[in-house]
Structure 1
């Protein structure tokens, strides 16, 4: 099943227990992030207004007991985008999301696509075009794919480092 961008937040609002995100790309081209990323590169301040909708969604989910977590598999040294993402992630954590980092060279084999595992029942693949811009979401409940994603999450979670610890290590 293919979802339009507008259906994305509905997918999360239907979530009952857990939303897990695997991120495997080092760079993204998300339109709402373009200006904040440019500010970061130019050492300009950011008011994070562009991030408020995601924070509110995470707070809504965690407020009703849904666990929101993510692993970022990153190349070291980090790309500019990943350096920026590491800085911004403190907002995710403050909203209630558990973000962990795993250097690519320690991860072993990882999928080539980003995805969300929702309630251990559905997998939502983040589709992107050649310019790395969002092209929608492909949703599946295929038990083999769900089981594969569960296994990837379990294996990588054991290897990944919580955001605060990883950020402190990278800052030193």
Structure 2
């Protein structure tokens, strides 16, 4: 689950600038990630993600909707949940791996990624799995969200 409206990742900053300026977006930085998703999903792995977003969308969230057309085409299923419908869900980012490992993401005040905290405590993983499922059932498919 991704709960931030903005991220400060150097590797995508030029593409974000291009997107905001209405220019053609160079997605060269994105190729390895897309290839990894294609390979993993071809091997039967599932990639799903819920992005919690505020309205109106930030430039970064609009950029995320744009980029998610490519990740979804590669095999990931990204869905969107408006923040007003996210009551009871955590306000931080985390990833779950095979419902047995949790990685809670940490960011600095400048929105830069500081690292992930690996958590394997079953009670904590189950709680986050519940939140993932609750978010998933409230979220809207990427294509439906983008069409609004």
Name the TM-score, length of structure 1 as normaliser.
Answer: 0.83
Post-superposition shift, 1:99? 0.5
Aligned residues: 148
Taking the TM superposition and a 5 Å limit, the aligned residue runs for 1:157-172 are 157-169=136-148
Aligned twin of 1:106: 85
Aligned twin of 1:6: none
Aligned twin of 2:113: 134
One of 156, 159, 167 as aligned partner of 2:135:
156
Runs of 4+ residues over 2 Å off in structure 1: none
Unaligned 5+ runs, structure 1 = 1-21
Taking the TM superposition and a 5 Å limit, the aligned residue runs for 1:61-140 are 61-140=40-119
Task: Please state whether the residue corresponding to 1:112 is helix, strand or coil.
Answer: coil
Question: CA RMSD, aligned part only?
Answer: 0.9
Distance, in Å, in 1 between the alignment partners of 2:38 and 2:103 is 21
Name the TM-score, length of structure 2 as normaliser.
Answer: 0.96
Task: Please state whether the residue corresponding to 1:23 is helix, strand or coil.
Answer: coil
Unaligned 5+ runs, structure 2 = none
Taking the TM superposition and a 5 Å limit, the aligned residue runs for 1:52-63 are 52-63=31-42
Q: Between the two structures, name the one with larger relative contact order (CA 8 Å, sep ≥ 6).
A: 1
Post-superposition shift, 1:135? 1.1
